Amino acid sequence: MSKAFASQADLDDKKTTFEQLSPHCWAYTAEGDPNSGVIIGDQFIMVSDATATPAMAQDLIKHIRTVSDKPIKYVLLTHYHAVRVLGASAYKAEGATEVIASRGTFELIVERGAQDMQSEMERFPRLFRGADSVPGLTWPTLVIGDGKPGRQGSLEVDLGGVKVSIWHPGPGHTRGDTIAWVEEEKVLFSGDLVEYEAGVYTGDAQLEEWPATLEALRALKAEYIVPGRGEAMKGNADVNKALDYTQRWVTTLFQAGKEAAAAGMDLKAAMAHTRKSMDPVFGHVFIYEHCLPFDVSRAYDEAKGIKNPRIWTAERDQEMWGALQA
C-alpha cells in the first residue's frame, strides 16, 4: 500500500494518568489510548477493561499497588475488542478469579474474537508491543444477562464497603456493551459506549440504536464518568458533555452514511462525503484518522441494511484501505 494505516504510524508513548474520582473509584487514562477503571473496596478490587497486553497491564497494576494491596478479584470486559481484553491474564497473579462479560460480548468473542485479535495486532503495533505475553483469547468466567438490554439482567458485586452494578444498557459500540455503575458514588465506567475528545471507533457498532443507549446512561445522572477514551469527566454537566460528544459523532457519521448509500456512492466517495461533516467538528481529536475509515465503512454498511457488522479480518482491513487509496 502507498500509505499505512494512521494507527500503524502512531508509535509515540502516551502519558498515563491514575486519578482518584471518589472514595473507591479511580480512572486510568492515556491521551486517547484505551482507558481502564479501577474500583477498590475494603476486601477486593475490580478492574474495568484489562488493557491490550499483560505487559501493558503491569503498568496499571503498579499504579493500583501504590494505593492498595487488596486482591484484584474481578476483571470486567466492557466489550470484546482486543485492545480492551487481552491483558486480562496479568491479573491472575494479583488474585483475579472472575472475568465478567455480557452474553453479547461472549457471543462476539466466539463469533469473531480470533479475527479481531489478528486485525488489531496488525493495526496497533505500539499497543501490542508486548504481544508475545498474550496467551490467547480472553474468555469470561462469568457471563451475565440474556443479551437483552436493561438492569433486569444485572450483576451486583460487593467489593467490601462499595457495591458495583454491572449490566448491558443497550447496543452501541458493539451489541454486547457492558457498564459498571457505582451508584452510591455516582461513578460510571462506560467503556467505549462513551468517548470524549477522542475518536469514536464504530467499526462494529449498532449506529441506529446507539443514541438511545446513551440516553439510558444519561438517565443515571452520573457525577463522574470514565469514558473509553479521553479524560475522566467530573460533575454531571461534564458527564453530559461526553454523552453529547459521542452522540454527535454517531449521528453525524450515520447521517452521512445514509446519504452516501442513498446516492449510490462507492466507499471512496462515501469517505469524501463524510469528511465534509465530520472533519470540521472532529478532525482535531486523538485517533480521528485511525477510526474514520472503519467508521465510514460501517455507517455505509448499516445504511445499506447490513445489521450485523461484517467481521474485520486483517485481509478485509487491507481490502478496505485499498478501496480508499485507489
Mean pLDDT (whole number) for 291-295: 96
CB count, 10 Å around CB of 278? 21
Cα separation, 276 vs 176, in Å, equals 31
Residue 131 contacts by C-beta under 8 Å, 6 or more apart in sequence? 53, 121
Q: Is the pLDDT of residue 3 over 60?
A: no
Please name which of 106, 117, 100, 109 lies closest in space to residue 47, comparing C-alpha atoms: 100
Report the b/e string of 186-208 with b at 16+ CB within 10 A.
Answer: bbbbbbbbbbbbbbbbbbbbbbe
Q: Residue 206: is its pLDDT beyond 80?
A: yes
**Is the pLDDT score of 5 beyond 90?**
no
Condensed to tens digits (0 to 9), the pLDDT of residues 91-101 reads 999 999 999 99
H/E segment holding residue 20: strand 17-20
Better-predicted residue by pLDDT, 3 or 122: 122
- Under CATH, which architecture does the 6-325 domain have? 4-Layer Sandwich (3.60)
Q: Provide the pLDDT confidence category of residue 7 given band limits of 50, 70 and 90.
A: very low
Residues in the chain: 326
Strand bridging mode 224-227 / 233-234: antiparallel
What is the pLDDT confidence band of residue 4, given thresholds at 50, 70 and 90? low
Q: Report the candidate in 312, 314, 276 with the shortest Cα–Cα distance to residue 294.
A: 312
Q: What is the average pLDDT across 34-60?
A: 97
Distance CA 292, CA 6 (A): 10
**Sheet strands side by side (includes 163-167):** 155-158, 163-167, 179-182, 187-191, 224-227, 233-234
pLDDT, tens digit (0-9, with 9 covering 90-100), for 59-71 = 999 999 999 999 9
Domain boundaries, the chain: 6-325
Distances (CA, A) of 17 to 14, 36, 93: 10, 10, 23
Global pTM value: 0.95
pLDDT exceeds 80 at position 240: yes
